Amino acid sequence: MSQIPFSVATDFAADLPELNAVRREIADATDFVQIRFHRELQQIRAVRNDRLEAPKLVRHQGAMVEVMCEGVLSYAGTADVSRAGLRRALEEARTSARALKPYALHQFPRDVRPPTAGTYESPGMATLKDLSLERVDEILGDANRALNRGPDITQRHAMAELVESETWTISNAGEDRRQRFALWVVDASASAERDGEVQTRSLNGAHARCSQGGADVLDRDELVAACEQAGEEARQLLTAENCPEGNFDLILAPDQMLLQIHESIGHPLELDRILGDERNYAGWSFVKLEDFGHLRYGSELLNVSFDPTLRHEYASYGYDDCGATASREMLIENGILQRGLGSLESQQRAGVPGVANFRSSSWNRAPIDRMANLNVEPGTTRLADMIAQVEDGLMMASNRSWSIDDYRDKFQFGCEIGYRIREGRVVGLVKNPNYRGRTLDFWRALAAVGDRQSFAAYGSPFCGKGEPSQVIRVGHASPHCLFRKIACFGRGS
Amino acid sequence: MNEIQTHFRAYADVLFAALAEDENLILQLKGEDSLFLRWNRGKIRQTTQVRQFEVNWTFQKDGRQLELSEQLTLNLESDARRGREHVERLRTQAKTLAASHQLAPVVPAQTSVRIGEVPPRDPARIAAQISAGAAGLDLIGFWCSGPVVRAVAHNRGLFLFESRDAYFFDYSIFTVSEAGENKAVKGFFSEPEWDSDGWAERWGQQLSRQKEDLELLRRPSRRLAPGSYRVYLAPGAVNSILETLKGGGFSALSYRHGQSPLKDLVEERRALSPLVSWTEDFSLGFAPRFNRYGEVPPERVPLIHDGRFSGLLVSGKTAREFGIESNGAEDAGWETEMPRSFAMAAGDLPADQALRRLETGVWINEVHYTNFSDLKTARITGMTRYACFWVENGQKIAPIEDLRFDVSVYDFFGEHLEALTRERQDFADVGTYFLRMWSGTRVPGLLAREFGFTL
């Protein structure tokens, strides 16, 4: 019997039969007009306790029409991508832009929309056709069985999500960009329960295994091995000691660094936050515009890049939604803050350098300043040497709890698993590990940065922000990092 | 909304006609035609209009089940063509599946249509009204208006449709204290009708009342050492904490998956204060009374009664999987059932006596970024935010520097709970992830001792 392909992508152009007519129509407009077509095709397969859950297919398609009249921008989104549907959206956006001009916070020059043309494609997309739906189910079934490490394991879950996403942006100023993405999330977790105690261990924290790539992302043997380890650790955590309370030297694994980078470097450096756009919702930032080029954000070992060019990392792309070409930029060098996460619009408002990060979650949202791939650059310390530097400390991995204040200063994070370190050696597991601190104190306590061997990339599909709200995909890569004298605690502290 | 109702009926009819006898199709429609105005510093930062109608399929064939989601274009020819292609795709995929253990219920046929009025929404007039009231203030906020719709239909005769028109302005006003700190008050404005007589005056009056708190916020902040304090949580803070607890706390599916933060309460090893009663209460009218499968829940579903476990929210899909009875809860799609029309019982403390009863402690108007720090002990961490004050002898003395708390539900809704206010406040869900939410919560204020701050 022939197998069913896991990929469901078809030719995007076939879904836009009136595209050329629309091009001709907007070419005559006197105002600047941009249309961003967006289609996402998502397949989700999941196995829980050896049973396949109801499969899910998602097909979202629409267009966001953007108009600039005398420097005032306005947006209208519609799922009707016919010429008539787009004409209606264009008229709505144009009417709003004109009517609201007296109330506009800013009027922008045309160069905030560079006339960029080009293409981008995730690596390995051609191989997706080789992966069948049946094979995906088989791999997830194997992974689910591998999580089962004895009678204490009560819940086992394994899932794979593939999003085939495509954007096609045109404008009457010459923009013409097509970007195609194959976006993966592979997730698995085991929960162990005994005497009312429940411990859950996932691969790298919930939904952290995010990447771009082809069929090889779903590596059966690697996934099964990781699931065996997760199941084993969930079981072992039941009898592990509670995380001790006190100030300890703390090593964070890359899959917890992802959250630490995201919350205490990524969000505070977003220029739209610093400019106050998010004050009613996500919050403001302790960073001020005058801090760029001066602020000692972390120790001299801290180097942070914005890098949407790493091909397999989750949030790589060629261009942002206003047409800025993506490039690698250093945000923090040798501990000093250099550059913010701000689009051409924010750079224009703030007068500081930024990056190509004007991103929207879908056709139904206007772009705002977002993270993409935000990485701590590798250092020179081998993990074994880092552990050897710790006299009395902890190592924590895989995020399970997160909270930070609206200025991105006071944080508290929790992990799935901790390791007790004494006299330079790992001596056992601890459960319910948490730590808390303040952003600048924490990064200034950075005492060692792992080498390229411990460098690993993860991400999240769920970074929330904005009014109206939107979730965006972000990637974060880091080696293991050592921080001195961090407040740590366990359950009940 | 008549246009979308007609379209949804026609779309459903076309697809239902294409089904075989051993097939079922349940269609849920969620949509909006929204105007979003984003404000910063008393001006409009971004303007977006969005028209979107998402249809969620539950397709069943010979006991197999698949789910699909897509957005309607409102062009019947193209929506129907794509829909028929989906039916073929799902039939093909169904052949690879075993019989489902999560088969959604196909509820008895009925028809119900409720359509709300559609008021005008001229962006320029809205901008003029908001601006006039807020002149001279550092106002930032989010205007959201336009109709929203929820509907369900299936091929065995069900058709439920409800739409309403609604608007809100969710905002903050910032000031700088004498010590140079940024401080803010939070506000929310919504009325049944937009631009009715006296609208502008009432908007202005609300801002005037808030200017009193802004004056207090200009005093230098008090830095409090971490530790346990007596606190008053205003209804906004209680609502924010309950939003976290709703994420699995009342869900039968979360409980069955071992992820309930209230497991010990459900299994009656722990109890809350006898003052605490939580109910899913559709008599409040906060949300349509049907779920994605068209199940109609009881008007009231007691969850916690007098501090003790009473029941969990159970969707038809969870009921099928675990052999328990459904109470028509919404299957939120995040492996959990979520309350939609939630009420916390009132107490007997008059709200205007709350300051006096607090006597000395912390007045917490709002909290920010709450999350579980430990599921087993139902510990929640978060930060104070907006207009929080140090209180002595029943008087607000000074704003505080924001503090991190880390507390167990079993403490502050348990033995540390001293009183709940007699008056309650309603909170519409202002969430707009993916599309506009349609739910709400009614809560009192809360007086508690030994509330733990950690940072």
Chain A CB contacts of B70 under 8 Å are 58-61
Q: Which of A134, A368, A464 sits opposite B433 (nearest CB)?
A: A464
Q: Which amino acid is at B318?
A: T
Q: Does B97 touch chain A (CB under 8 A)?
A: yes
**Residue B243 predicted with pLDDT over 70:** yes
Strands (E), A49-175: 51-52, 56-69, 72-78, 117-121, 153-171
Q: What is the model's pLDDT at position A11? A: 95
Q: What is the model's pLDDT at position B120? A: 63
Report residue B122's pLDDT band, with 50, 70 and 90 as the boundaries.
Answer: confident
**Residue B331 predicted with pLDDT over 90:** no
What is the least distance, in Å, from the CA of A378 to any CA of chain B? 30
A42: β partners:
A58, A163
Q: Is beta strand A425-431 parallel, antiparallel or unpaired with respect to A241-242?
A: parallel
339-358 of B, contacting A, C-beta below 8 A: none
Q: How far apart are CA A75 and CA A63, in angstroms?
A: 10
Share above pLDDT 70 across residues of chain A, in percent, rounded to a whole number: 100
Q: Which of A363-367, A414-418, B131-135, B253-257 has the lowest mean pLDDT?
A: B131-135
- Across the range A7-30, mean pLDDT stands at 94
Angle, vertex CA B183, rays to CA B181 and CA B185, nearest 5: 175
Mean pLDDT for all residues in chain B: 94
Q: What is the model's pLDDT at position B73? A: 97
**Residue B407 predicted with pLDDT over 60:** yes
Choosing among A403, A413, A434, which should be mutated to test the B contact, i.e. which has the most B CBs within 10 A?
Answer: A403
The SS3 assignment for B110 reads coil
- Across the range B86-99, mean pLDDT stands at 94
Q: What is the pLDDT of residues B249-276, one digit of tens each?
A: 999 999 999 899 999 999 999 999 999 9
Helix (H) or strand (E) holding B356: helix B354-358
* More reliable by pLDDT, B334 or B335: B335
What is the least distance, in Å, from the CA of A315 to any CA of chain B? 19
Chain A CB contacts of B434 under 8 Å are 471
Are B430 and B406 a contacting pair, CB within 8 Å? no
**Residue B281 predicted with pLDDT over 80:** yes
DSSP A2: P
Q: Does B188 touch chain A (CB under 8 A)?
A: no
Q: How far apart are CA B231 and CA B411, in angstroms?
A: 13
Q: What is the pLDDT of residues B363-389, one digit of tens each?
A: 999 999 999 999 999 999 999 999 999
Q: What is the pLDDT of residues B156-197, one digit of tens each?
A: 999 999 999 888 999 999 999 988 999 999 999 988 777 777
Phi and psi angles of residue B72, each rounded to the nearest 5 degrees, phi first: -80, 145
Q: CA nearest A316: which of A372, A248, A262?
A: A372
Helices (H), A268-343: 271-274
Q: Does B372 touch chain A (CB under 8 A)?
A: yes
Q: How far apart are CA A467 and CA B432, in angstroms?
A: 7
What is the least distance, in Å, from the CA of B202 to any CA of chain A? 21
Strands (E), A82-122: 117-121
Q: How far apart are CA B254 and CA A26, in angstroms?
A: 50
Q: CA nearest A400: which of B347, B452, B340, B374?
A: B374
**Residue A198 predicted with pLDDT over 60:** yes
**Residue A493 predicted with pLDDT over 60:** no
Sign of CA dihedral A280, A284, A289, A292: negative
Q: Which of B50, B86, B373 sits opposite A412 (nearest CB)?
A: B373
Angle, vertex CA A406, rays to CA A401 and CA B183, nearest 5: 150
Q: What is the model's pLDDT at position B118? A: 64
**Residue B119 predicted with pLDDT over 70:** no
Q: What is the pLDDT of residues B70-80, one digit of tens each?
A: 999 999 999 99
Q: Which of A93, A137, A467 sits opposite B38 (nearest CB)?
A: A467
Q: Does B200 touch chain A (CB under 8 A)?
A: no
Chain B CB contacts of A92 under 8 Å are 49
Contact A79 B74 (CB under 8 A): yes
Q: How far apart are CA B398 and CA A455, in angstroms?
A: 47
Q: What is the CA radius of gyration of chain B?
A: 24
Q: How far apart are CA A339 and CA A354, in angstroms?
A: 6
Q: CA of A436: which chain B residue's CA is closest?
A: B455
The whole-model pTM stands at 0.97
Structure tokens at A214: 């082809």
Q: What is the pLDDT of residues A307-344, one digit of tens each?
A: 999 999 999 999 999 999 999 999 999 999 999 999 99
